[in-house]
Amino acid sequence: MKRMIVACVVVVSLGFATGALGNGGKKHGKHEVAPAGGHAEHFGAPGDPGNVTRTIDVEMNDEMRFRPDRISVKRGETIRFVVRNTGNLKHEMVLGTIDELKGHAEMMRKSPEMEHADPNQVSVEPGKTGELIWQFTRDGTFDFACLEPGHFEAGMVGRILVGHERE
Ligand SMILES: [Cu+2]
């Protein structure tokens, strides 16, 4: 858990450094290399829009809840999450394991202005809709959360069951 947080910090610092240098027009460029911390491979990989097998609508609201907050997928499925923010606050859906989400939530509390744009997350302004495409490659129980400061702590979390029977 401790180590996971450290890994996150390192990745983010590198991102900042690259952005700050901004040389060679690489600013805000997509990371081509495999992520150092490798959080993503715990539960899958960014999905190819051409391979989407199912669309799941998710609502985020100011009651600090996701609806649904429990999602079942089959291993191998590529899911397009259509994420609608029905509240008046900014919300986001971040996929991960509960430990790494906790670590990120802590970072977000310390640096609320921090913006992160990874393929495993989507930030959605009030009244807007965003999309997140993810392929689930491993069986298991994974989590998602809103990491806007305080939201995770208020219970804005959900769970994804991969490879389990549909409920
Ligand atoms: Cu939120």
Query: How many angstroms is it from 96 CA to the middle of ligand 1?
Result: 16
Protein residues within 5 Å, CB atom, of ion ligand 1: 91, 146, 148, 151, 156
pTM of whole model > 0.75? no
| Full set of structural domains in the chain with CATH | 34-162 (2.60.40.420)
Q: What is the mean pLDDT of the chain?
A: 79
pLDDT grade for 39, boundaries at 50, 70 and 90: low
- Ligand 1 centroid, distance to 130 Cα (angstroms): 14
Q: How far is the CA of 9 from the centre of ligand 1 (A)?
A: 22
Run of H or E residues at 3: helix 2-21
Tokens of 17: 């450094």
pLDDT digits (tens, 9 = 90+) for 53-88: 999 999 999 999 999 999 999 999 999 999 999 999
Spatial contact of 72 and 167, defined as CB atoms under 8 Å apart: yes
Write the CA distances from 46 to 71, 92, 104, integer angstroms: 18, 17, 19
pLDDT digits (tens, 9 = 90+) for 152-162: 999 999 999 99
